[in-house]
Structure 1
Amino acid sequence: MNKRPLARYPALRLRRPRISDWSRRLYAETHISPSDFLWAIILKDGKDIREPIDAMPGVFRLSPDQAVKAAQEAKSLGIPALALFPYTDADGRTPGGEEAFNPDSLMCRTAKAIKDAVPDIGLMADVALDPYTDHGHDGLMRDGEILNDETLEILVRQSIVQARAGFDIITPSDMMDGRVGAIRAGLDGEGFQNIQIMAYAAKYASAFYGPYREAIGSAGVLKGDKRTYQMNPANSDEALREVALDLAEGADSVMVKPGLAYLDIVARVKEEFGAPTFVFQVSGEYAMIKAAAQNGWLDGERAMLESLLAFKRAGANGIITYFAADAAKALQR
């Protein structure tokens, strides 16, 4: 299609549709709504807990009963799903991350409670070992090496336990090779053919994860870094190979993580594959906007909505974000 203007100034004035609010809305090429959001929630064991997270102003670690209240709020705001992540203190971590496949874990108990109270809200379960290992890595470790194939068995067990607890979407974030195919086979073998897999397909070894690691208790225990399995931020073509492999192994949708620094990856993935593509607006992105707003350096609400709009404009079908409830309320206003 020829996109060159058919007319020129002064006959053509591109400012003309921008003059009025109604016209700007009418001509908008991209829209966001609460239906685009998955609300990222941090869990903590206990009752009636709303514990502030210093590095993420406005975000709290929630006990299961408080997470149920968040699910009810999400339902009332039109947010379709929650993404749950567990805080684990050092005493609850082991070298093998056995809590990951405990059917009575914090994640599983919270999922059951939410589904009892709000049965028609979607629940997304993070699949990785970093909240449960004493070394803070996403896989099993031996002599400083993260073990790929040995980790897959644990991830499959974790996924099956989470599916039984009521999670609707299994989201492997570990970046081990072959995990999507292994999890798909494991779920299908247990009769969970309808449980979705959203693969963290292009997950980069990013500096923007710092506040999240504090939120789940990994910051003080992580030994080394995750560059041997998470992607190099310098690479773009490699992301397409990762996405292609995950789709071939049975992923229903794919995710790019982090978000704003990787909008080019979101656009390339959507254009290349046309598959459902999600993006995670991670803790560091959230914290930067909140901190700048608290210092009066920018309009926090406008910056929040502009960042979310950028993800949709790049091609994302949906956004995992800590801003979900705040953004939904802002859109109502």
Structure 2
Amino acid sequence: MQDIQFKRHRRLRRTDSMRALVRETHLRTDDLIYPIFVVEGEGHKNPVASMPGVHQVSLDYLTEEMNELVHLNIRSVIVFGVPNEKDEIGSKAFHEEGIVQRAVRQIKEEHPALTVIADTCLCQYTDHGHCGVVRDGEIENDESLEYITKTAVTQAEAGADIIAPSNMMDGFVAAIRQGLDEAGFSNIPVMSYAVKYASSFYGPFRDAAHSSPQFGDRRAYQMDPANRLEAIREAESDVNEGADFLIVKPALAYLDIMREVKDRFNLPLVAYNVSGEYSMIKAAAQNGWVNEQEIVLEKLTAMKRAGADLIITYFAKDAAKWLNQ
């Protein structure tokens, strides 16, 4: 053994304190963004069957939800609306008294220090479930941009701190940026769903948001999961159009894409830890197959290691409790 030369890497792994001392990647409550589903009416705290622990809440329950987030030191929330009326153009998305607009106003009145992000899309509001206007079975890109921009402006008027468009129409960042600027909201940033794949991991979300398409699918505007270079083109377009944040969605199966986007573009990167990723772990944990706390924190840390600055996750409350311990 005296003649063998090798590195003793284990020296830095001997104790908890030593491992903490040299840890390269850190997960904090400040990194977490909690998604909330807000519904019309009163007295609603509806459990989402496919997402254990997640609820649709009406405005009278929203205060309770936000108080819990503040107590857990979670500073950011993204708001999704579930309207009680839908039509072909999704007009409730851009109505001044739409459910997201009312929720944003309430949150900012009660907790002005919270960062409130408004999801900006039409799919929950259209009777066909697509993210844009449908004419003769086709998604009309440019007409859709008009309504998406109106939505962004009314959300900013309601007090949203960040606009997060998730529709994947071509030019959506440019249209929203122009619309916000012309309406006097040049200080409101755009958190673009720049890289959004046509993924099978979205199923439980569509239960929660009542947003499943009534015909076809979204592969004509969301990205092919097989493509890497296309992700770079999409992100580059959004950077050039004025995006302030870039989202990669989903996160877990696309860590390679996240790393490449982060390496190429000098903007805050957001990982969306989507509903299917959440529900699989919840189901496995309920069956006793995995240690939920350990696997969730490992997964979220992997997203940070891959380049994410922020993480949208339904695990935000659970993770914050574990981190605060």
Check whether TM > 0.5: yes
> What is the aligned partner in structure 1 of residue 43 from structure 2?
48
- Supply the AA of the counterpart residue of 1:312: K
Contact 1:88/1:217 (8 A) holds in 2: no
Deviation at 1:11, TM superposition (A): 5.9
- Supply the AA of the counterpart residue of 1:66: Y
Q: Cα RMSD between the aligned structures?
A: 1.3
SS in 2 for 1:155: helix
**Are residues 1:207 and 2:207 paired?**
no
Deviating beyond 4 angstroms after TM superposition, the runs of 4 or more aligned structure 1 residues are 8-11
> What is the aligned partner in structure 1 of residue 251 from structure 2?
259
Work out the percentage of aligned pairs sharing the same amino acid.
48
2:114 to 121, 130, 134: 121
Contact 1:38/1:324 (8 A) holds in 2: yes
Deviation at 1:15, TM superposition (A): 1.7
Once residues 9 and 246 of structure 1 are traced to their aligned partners in structure 2, the CA distance between those partners, rounded to angstroms, is: 54
Once residues 317 and 237 of structure 2 are traced to their aligned partners in structure 1, the CA distance between those partners, rounded to angstroms, is: 33
**Are residues 1:174 and 2:159 paired?**
no
Consecutive unaligned residues in structure 1, runs of 5 or more: 1-7
Aligned ranges for residues 9-158 of structure 1 at < 5 Å?
Answer: 12-89=7-84, 92-158=85-151
Consecutive unaligned residues in structure 2, runs of 5 or more: none
SS in 2 for 1:286: helix
SS in 1 for 2:118: strand
> What is the aligned partner in structure 1 of residue 293 from structure 2?
301
Once residues 169 and 73 of structure 1 are traced to their aligned partners in structure 2, the CA distance between those partners, rounded to angstroms, is: 21
- Supply the AA of the counterpart residue of 1:284: G
Deviation at 1:247, TM superposition (A): 0.8
Deviation at 1:10, TM superposition (A): 6.0
- Supply the AA of the counterpart residue of 2:303: F
Once residues 128 and 104 of structure 1 are traced to their aligned partners in structure 2, the CA distance between those partners, rounded to angstroms, is: 16
- Supply the AA of the counterpart residue of 2:58: S
Given the two structures, how large is their TM-score scaled by the length of structure 1? 0.94
- Structure 1 residues 27 and 157: alpha-carbon distance in aligned structure 2, compared to 1, 3 A threshold: same
Q: What is the aligned residue count?
A: 323
- Supply the AA of the counterpart residue of 1:18: R
Deviations 1:56-107 (A, max 9, x none): 0010111123222222222222212100111235xx1111111111110111
Once residues 12 and 22 of structure 1 are traced to their aligned partners in structure 2, the CA distance between those partners, rounded to angstroms, is: 21
- Structure 1 residues 236 and 49: alpha-carbon distance in aligned structure 2, compared to 1, 3 A threshold: same
Once residues 254 and 294 of structure 2 are traced to their aligned partners in structure 1, the CA distance between those partners, rounded to angstroms, is: 21
- Supply the AA of the counterpart residue of 2:27: I
> What is the aligned partner in structure 2 of residue 5 from structure 1?
none
Once residues 58 and 68 of structure 1 are traced to their aligned partners in structure 2, the CA distance between those partners, rounded to angstroms, is: 17
